[in-house]
C-alpha cells in the first residue's frame, strides 16, 4: 500500500510538472501565432513606404479564410526600419475579402489610407484626430454616400448608419479610405472597429476593444491599412 501511494504521489507530481509550464505559458503569451503567414507582399509594401515620411505606421490584415484574419501593425523607427508593434486576431466580412458591392458582406482588398478616427467612448489618446460620436452623427448610405454626416449641421433625413447605436463596434473605430469617391452601390461605412457579438463583420475589420485602443494610441496620421490574402 505504501509503495502504491508513493507511486501515485510521484505520478501526480510528474503530471503536475508536465502541465504547469503549459498553463504558465498560456497565461504569459497573448501573441497570436503568425509563423505561417506569408509576408512576401508585406515586405514589398514596407519597402514602398520606407522613405515616405508621410507614412509612419502600416496595418497589415492577412485574410486566413472563414472571416478570420491576422492584423499586424508596424511603426517606422528613426532610421526607417519597420518594427512590429501589434499582432492580433481580427474578423473580416462574413463572406471574406474582395468586396464588389454594397451588401455583399465582404471586406475590400487593397492598400487604403486611414482617413478618420471616431468613437462613442472618450478619446483614448488617439494620434489621429478623434471625433467623439453623438446622437447627430450618421455614416450616410444615400445622398452623401459613404460620408460622415452631422444632422445638426446638415438638413438631411439620413437613412445611413446611426453611429451611436453600435455601442460595441463603434466604441472606437477608424475609417478605411475605401470608395472615397462615394460611388453609390460600391460599398460604404467600411471601418476598422471593435468586436461586436458575432464572429464576422458585414464588410469591416474588427479587433478587440483593447487592441483598437492600442491602434488609436499608436497610429499616426498617414497610417495605411493593407488587406490581402497572401
160: contact with Zn ion by CB under 5 A: yes
213: contact with Zn ion by CB under 5 A: no
* Min separation Cβ 180 and Zn ion, Å: 16
Which of these segments, 115-123, 160-168, 180-188, 201-209, binds Zn ion (CB under 5 A)? 160-168
* Min separation Cβ 93 and Zn ion, Å: 22
Q: CA 223 to CA 57: how far, in whole Å?
A: 5
Q: CA of 120: how far to CAs of 54, 129, 166, in Å?
A: 28, 14, 9
Of the pair 95, 147, the CB lying nearest Zn ion is at 147
Looking at 45, 158, 189, 216, which residue binds Zn ion (CB under 5 A)? 158
- List phi, psi (to 5°) of 152: -80, -15
Q: Which of 83, 75, 72 is nearest to 33 (CA)?
A: 72
Of the pair 160, 203, the CB lying nearest Zn ion is at 160
142: contact with Zn ion by CB under 5 A: yes
Pairing type for strands 82-91 and 161-162 reads unpaired
C-alpha cell at 217: 494610441
188: contact with Zn ion by CB under 5 A: no
Q: How many residues bind Zn ion (CB under 5 A)?
A: 4
Of the pair 130, 138, the CB lying nearest Zn ion is at 138
Encode burial over 57-86: b for 16+ CB neighbours within 10 A, e otherwise.
bbbbbbbbeebebbbbbbbbeeeeebeeeb
Interface with Zn ion (CB under 5 A): 140, 142, 158, 160
Amino acid at each position: 500500500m505504501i509503495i502504491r501511494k508513493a507511486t501515485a504521489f510521484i505520478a501526480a507530481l510528474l503530471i503536475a510538472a508536465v502541465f504547469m509550464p503549459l498553463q504558465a505559458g498560456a497565461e504569459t503569451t497573448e501573441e497570436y501565432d503568425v509563423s505561417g503567414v506569408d509576408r512576401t507582399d508585406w515586405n514589398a509594401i514596407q519597402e514602398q513606404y520606407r522613405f515616405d515620411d508621410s507614412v509612419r505606421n502600416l496595418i497589415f490584415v492577412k485574410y486566413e479564410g472563414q472571416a478570420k484574419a491576422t492584423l499586424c501593425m508596424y511603426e517606422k523607427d528613426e532610421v526607417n526600419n519597420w518594427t512590429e508593434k501589434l499582432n492580433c486576431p481580427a474578423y473580416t466580412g462574413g463572406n471574406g475579402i474582395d468586396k464588389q458591392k454594397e451588401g455583399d458582406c465582404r471586406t475590400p482588398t487593397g492598400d487604403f489610407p486611414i482617413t478618420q478616427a471616431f468613437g462613442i467612448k472618450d478619446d483614448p489618446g488617439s494620434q489621429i484626430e478623434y471625433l467623439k460620436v453623438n446622437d447627430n452623427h450618421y455614416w450616410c448610405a444615400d445622398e452623401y454616400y459613404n460620408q460622415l454626416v452631422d444632422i445638426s449641421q446638415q438638413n438631411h433625413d439620413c437613412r445611413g448608419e446611426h453611429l451611436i447605436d453600435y455601442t460595441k463596434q463603434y466604441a472606437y473605430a477608424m475609417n478605411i479610405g475605401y470608395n472615397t469617391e462615394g460611388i453609390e452601390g460600391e460599398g460604404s461605412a467600411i471601418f476598422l472597429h471593435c468586436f461586436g457579438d458575432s464572429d464576422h463583420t458585414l464588410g469591416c475589420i474588427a479587433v478587440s476593444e483593447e487592441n483598437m485602443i492600442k491602434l488609436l494610441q499608436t497610429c499616426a496620421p498617414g497610417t495605411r491599412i493593407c488587406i490581402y490574402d497572401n
